[in-house]
Every structure is written in structure tokens, then in C-alpha cells.
Amino acid sequence: MEQSSRAQFEQTVLVHLGAAYNLARWLTRDDRDAEDVVQEACLRAFRFFDGYRGGNSRAWLLTIVRHTCYTWLRANRAKDLIAFDETLDSADPGAGPEELVLHSVDQQALRNALEELPVEFREVIILRELEEMSYKEIAAIAGIPLGTVMSRLARARKRLEHSLTQPATVEA
Amino acid sequence: MNCQETQTLIHGYLDGELDLVNSLKVEEHLQDCRSCSQEQANHQTLRDALRGGGLYFQPPASLRKRVLSNVEQASRHSAAPRAPRWSWSWLGAAAVLVRQVVITWGLTRSMARPPAGDLVAQEVVASHVRSLMPDHLTDVTSSSQHTVKPWFAGKLNFSPQVVDLASDGFPLIGGRLDYLDNQPVAALVYGRQQHLINLFIWPSTSAATTQTEVRQGYQLVHWTQSGMNYWVVSDMNAAELEVFVQLIQKQAGS
């Protein structure tokens, strides 16, 4: 019985270890810390595994990983979490929006820009673009309403585009 | 719809999350508004870059080992709560066991992966994900095989076998025309509680035994039978999907 629940845990949950690590790595921004968080999260997942009633196991594991990340951030990087304002950047100048044209994106610049996003924005981008999750799944994982998923994605993308079009290096 | 509304809704539109009415409104606005359509182009460029690869962090190989050994230890504890919290001799034994598991796992994985089918597998997953977006699932929605099968006639140059497996707990939801491996293919959609299964069928010139793999969290099963390629993809667990595969193989062989 115990043996079989462990095997089942491996089959249904640990197949998503890559997704778990990727999310933890982006949220903690550190290799070692991400490994610690993932180990902790997997242990929690195993303890709660009896309560898992089937369904989307990747979303289930990522919910636990995200929660573990936030606990870790609160203890170790409290400044990453303070002062997140949902209305940030919400006032959009309706008239004459800047015509920033993104022709191509430098991968290193993109990586930096993503790391600099507030964690609440960063996570929706990771879940949407790297994990290709639906709004419904993201809403469940992050514990926010569907509409908030869309508005956070909107702001996160605008911020990324803005930092990518800043003339960090002058092009000829 | 004005620019301000569009600038938020355009994201739902890009992500395939808007209903038809709002999608049409966004499209209409984009046709008339240069600055919003520039925004859309920017979002698309950003998305392509984000998905272009290189941003996904892969875990070190040792992480899986450590997680397994933690889990092993935790289940020991729950079995014998008074056991010492830390035992080196036991850890050594566990390490050997874990290594064995990891090696076996690695071997079966590398053996199961078809190098030529890799690209097709990628397409299959992409098509499955696309089909889950609103209004992308089926072209013909019917639980009757007698409605779905004739629907494919004239759209494909082969006739896929269509069976309803409702009595086995996998009701047929409908069919869809899809495009994989550079050709039109039949996509049949089955349900299982809240899960969906896509079954892709198209003619095959080679033979392959049943192969399974996991990709982006989805289970994939592939085989050839009676001159047809079969690909099954779902977010269901491997054991349940195996039941479905056996049912299809039985029907296709009959």
C-alpha cells in the first residue's frame, strides 16, 4: 500500500519536476534556493498526496511549489514581496501611445527584464508563456480571479516590452 | 470598443481566452487602429521570444534523486514514527536503491523516445493544447460514431475508424480536421470526467510498436496498426490512458 502510493506519486507528480524547478528558479532567482524549495514542495506534495483527488497534477504540484516559494521569499527576500500594487501601471495614456516597435528581442536582455519584474507579474508570464497554462489554471495556482490573470499579463507584457525598447545600447 | 479596453482585452484575444463576441470586437478595433495593432505586433514579438526556448530552466539531474530520497525517508517516518530522524546506514541503502530507480527510469526513457517521431510528438502536443482553447476542440460535435465518421468523408483521403467508448467510460465528444506531419489527419476527441483525450489517426507507411512518453506534462502514446498511425495525447494519468489505448487497439484490430 505504502509502496504503491509512492510509485503513484512518482508517476503522477514527479513527472512534473521540470516544471516545478523552472517555476521555483524563476521565483527565487537562484539555482540553489530553487532546489531547496522544490525539495520542500515535493515533500509537502507527498504528504498531501492522499488528499489529491485526480485532475491536473501539474497544476496541483505547481500550486504547492508556488506556495512554498512565497513562504521562502517571505522569510528570505521580504523586499521582493512588499509594495505590490495591483493598480500599478493601470492608468494607461489613452491618447498617443508610444509606437515602440519590437523587431527582435535579445535573449539575455529578455532574461534580465523578466528577472526584474515584480514576482506577481513574473509568475503569470512563466505560467502562461513557458508552461502554456490556461487563464483558469493560472487563476487556480496563483489564487486570483480570472480577470486579474488577464490584467496582470497585460501589465507584465507592457513592462517587458518597455524595458526591451529602452535604448540600453545605442544602435546604429 | 476603445483603445483602453482593447489594450487589456487584446491579451485575452492573443491567448485564445476571449469569447467570440469580444474577439470580434477586438478584431474590428485592430483593423481600424494603427497604434493598437502595433501593440498587438509587439505582444506577438515578445511572445515568440519568450517561447523561443532558452528561458526554461532544467533541473540538475541530482535533484530527482534527492527528492526521491526525501520521499522515501518521509514514508519511512509515517510507517515508523519513532524511528531515528537520521540514519546514515539507511541513507546509504536508499542511495543505492534510488540510483537503481534513476538508471532504470533513464534507460526506459531513452529507449522509448523515437528520434524520428520527436517532431511529430511536439506537433501532437501543440495540437492538443490548441484544441483546449475555446471553440477549437471540435468541428463536428457528436457522441455518435455514425455522425462523426461520415463527416470525415470528402475531407480526408482515408477513412478513420470511429468508435464511441461511452460504455467503457470514454464518451466520444466529436471530431476535428487537423494537420500533422505535413498532412491532414483525423482528430477524435474523447472525454473522461474533466479530462480530454485527443486521438489522431492518419495513414502510415512504417510499423511501430506502442511507445509512450511524457511531454510538457502530457501523456503521449503512439503506435501503428492496420496501416494507420495512432497518436493519443491527454493530461490523464498513464494508467487510465493505458485502458483507453487498449480499447482503441482492440477496436482497430477487430
Considering only A47-56, A67-76, B109-118, B227-236, which range has the smallest mean pLDDT? B109-118
> Measured between alpha carbons, how far is A81 from B237 in angstroms, rounded to an integer?
36
* Most confident option among B85-89, B90-94, B105-109: B90-94
* C-beta neighbour count of B84 within 10 angstroms: 8
Contact status of B93 with chain A (Cβ, < 8 Å): no
Report residue B26 CA to chain centroid gap: 29
Q: Which of residues 89-148 of A touch B (CB under 8 A)?
A: 92, 94, 96-97, 99-105, 107, 110-111, 114, 125, 128-132, 134-135
Same domain, B130 and B12: no
Condensed to tens digits (0 to 9), the pLDDT of residues A81-132 reads 766 666 655 544 443 445 556 777 788 899 999 999 999 999 999 999 999 9
Separation of alpha carbons A46 and B115, rounded Å: 33
Please indicate, yes or no, whether residues B122 and B244 belong to a single structural domain of this protein: yes
CB A29 within 8 A of CB A16: no
> Among B71-85, B139-153, B173-187, which stretch is predicted with the lowest mean pLDDT?
B71-85
Q: Are residues B248 and B123 in the same domain?
A: yes
Same domain assignment for residues A75 and A126: no
The domain tally of chain A equals: 2
pLDDT at A71 exceeding the cut of 80? yes
Residues of chain B contacting A63 with CB distance shorter than 8 Å = none
B17 neighbourhood in chain A, CB within 8 Å: 134-135, 150
Is B25 among the domain residues? yes
- Using the CB atoms, write b or e for B24-52: b if 16+ within 10 Å: ebbeebbeebeebebbbebbebbbebbee
- The reply to whether A87 falls in a domain is no
CATH at A132: 1.10.10.10
Please report, rounded to a whole number, the percentage of residues in chain A having pLDDT higher than 90.
55
Query: Both A114 and A64 in a single domain?
Result: no
Q: pTM for this structure? A: 0.57
Within a domain: A100: no
Asked if the C-beta of A39 comes within 8 angstroms of chain B's C-beta atoms, the answer is yes
Distance of alpha carbon A146 from alpha carbon A139, whole angstroms? 6
State the CATH number of the domain containing residue A58. 1.10.1740.10
If you ran DSSP here, which 8-state letter would residue B56 be given? P
Question: A-contacting residues of B 187-246, CB under 8 Å?
Answer: 193-194, 214, 216-217, 235, 237-239
What range does the domain containing B14 cover?
Answer: 3-43
Residue A116 domain boundaries: 107-165
Same domain, A55 and A123: no
**Sign for the pseudo-dihedral over CA of B204, B208, B213, B219:** positive
Same domain, B135 and B238: yes
Same domain, A77 and A112: no
pLDDT value, residue B80: 45
B129 and B236 in a common domain = yes
Q: Is residue B76 situated within a structural domain?
A: no
Judge whether A170 lies within some domain: no
Let me know if residue A94 belongs to a domain.
no
Give every strand in the sheet of B195-203, ordered side by side.
B140-141, B172-180, B183-192, B195-203, B228-234, B218-225, B211-215
Confirm or reject contact between B136 and chain A (CB < 8 A). no
Report the residue from A19, A131, A151 with minimal CB separation from B8: A151
% of chain B exceeding 70 in pLDDT:
83
What CATH number is associated with residue B159? Answer: 3.30.200.100
| B224 and B134 within one domain | yes
Q: Is residue B213 in some structural domain?
A: yes
Count of the separate structural domains present in chain B: 2
Distance from A115 to chain B by nearest Cα, in Å? 11
Cβ atoms of residues B200 and B211 within 8 Å: no
Residue A17 lies in a domain: yes
> ipTM of the assembly?
0.87
